[in-house]
Amino acid sequence: MIKFLMTMLLAAASLPGFAALQVLATVPEWGALAREIGGDKVSVFTATTALQDPHRIQARPSLLAQARRADLVVATGADLEVGWLPLVLRDSGNANIQPGRPGYFEAARFVTMLDVPVVLDRSQGDIHAAGNPHIQLDPRNLFRIGEALAIRLGEIDPPNAAAYQAGYKAFAGKWQVAIARWEKEALPLRGVTVLAHHDSFIYLANWLGFKTTGTLEPKPGIEPTSGQLSSLVARQQTMPAKMVLRTAYQNDGPSLWIADKAGIPAVLLPFTVGGTLEAGDLSGLFDDTVRRLLKGLH
């Protein structure tokens, strides 16, 4: 009898309703959001870290293995992962996570995109047809993305649909309070002019009201040149920037050179979850981002 009961328990534990939903997130912010909403109902694997350029990732065998077993892929879209994700999806052999299927989710489809090019011209560098893909840096975007993700999780895993809705509701409640706090703390940043290594912070600037007046890259995706850096220093006479921003994965050399020549702070921002020690989750990401920007003013 005991043996029979043990067999039944093991069989029940192997049923889909008892197994955590396997989520493959392309970047840390969506992995963190999936955990916020899904809790213990999901098992999340994140394909990249904050120290990697999400545009340029190798489709390594371990990543293919994760895609093969995934129930849901959560990507940014807007061509952010175009250099590697299509290959991973194709070679995974997993029909459920292909674009157009319920197991494939693109966050960019649920927000208003900024910096959408009027004319597509690859001579202008690594431009994105759908607009700037760094949508995670406006925390208001996470309401619509999170709401849509909770619905999608429930569609894939109907027995836990109510749990996903409850997870999103709890997240949205605390997120609304946090955004109000960040906006109040960041009021001194309104109108402040900055330089950026890459146009990584357009959504952050749009939210907090600071202005990016130039990028260290002469064109998107093209490494900074000495000529471009020198022109930005010279321009400080007529269009002074208060600080120069970079992400955790970008080379600090150009920013530090500009900072030294122009006499302004070089500020590293976490950019995504894990970009700094303090940015251990979504709340920490924005806590630390606002703190570092304010510190750059002094």
Residue 11 pLDDT class (50, 70, 90 cuts): very low
Would you state the pLDDT for residue 6?
Answer: 44
Would you state the pLDDT for residue 128?
Answer: 63
Would you state the pLDDT for residue 4?
Answer: 41
Would you state the pLDDT for residue 122?
Answer: 56
| CA-to-CA dists, residue 39 to 26, 30, 123, 239, 295, angstroms | 18, 13, 44, 47, 34
Q: Domain 19-109+126-180 in CATH: superfamily?
A: Nitrogenase molybdenum iron protein domain (3.40.50.1980)
Residue 129 pLDDT class (50, 70, 90 cuts): confident
What's the pLDDT tens digit per position in 82-105? 999 999 999 999 999 999 999 999
Residue 178 pLDDT class (50, 70, 90 cuts): very high
Does the pTM surpass 0.85? The reply is yes
Would you state the pLDDT for residue 219?
Answer: 87
Chain centroid, CA 185 distance in Å = 22
Least confident among 13-17, 61-65, 172-176, 269-273:
13-17
Angle at 126 between CA 120 and CA 131, to 5 degrees: 60
Residue 233 pLDDT class (50, 70, 90 cuts): very high
User: Domain residue spans in the chain?
Assistant: 19-109+126-180, 186-296
Residue 232 pLDDT class (50, 70, 90 cuts): very high
Q: Which fold has domain 186-296?
A: Rossmann fold (3.40.50)
Least confident among 205-209, 222-226, 268-272:
222-226
Decide if 28 contacts 285 (C-beta within 8 A). no
Residue 7 pLDDT class (50, 70, 90 cuts): very low
Identify any residues that bridge with 193 across adjacent strands, giving them in sequence order.
211
* Paired tokens of 205: 């600037």
Residue 169, number of CB atoms within 10 A of its CB: 13
pLDDT at 258 exceeding the cut of 90: yes
Around 91, how many Cα atoms within 13 Å sit in the side-chain half-sphere? 13
Q: What does the pLDDT average to over 13-18?
A: 44
Least confident among 54-68, 166-180, 193-207:
54-68
Residue 145 pLDDT class (50, 70, 90 cuts): very high
Strand pairing category for 243-247 and 211-215: unpaired
Tell me the C-alpha distance between 127 and 132, whole Å. 8
Tell me the C-alpha distance between 179 and 184, whole Å. 9
* Paired tokens of 210: 């600071």
> Which residues, other chains included, contact 206 with Cβ-Cβ below 8 Å and sequence gap of 6+?
114, 138
What's the pLDDT tens digit per position in 107-124? 999 999 998 877 666 555
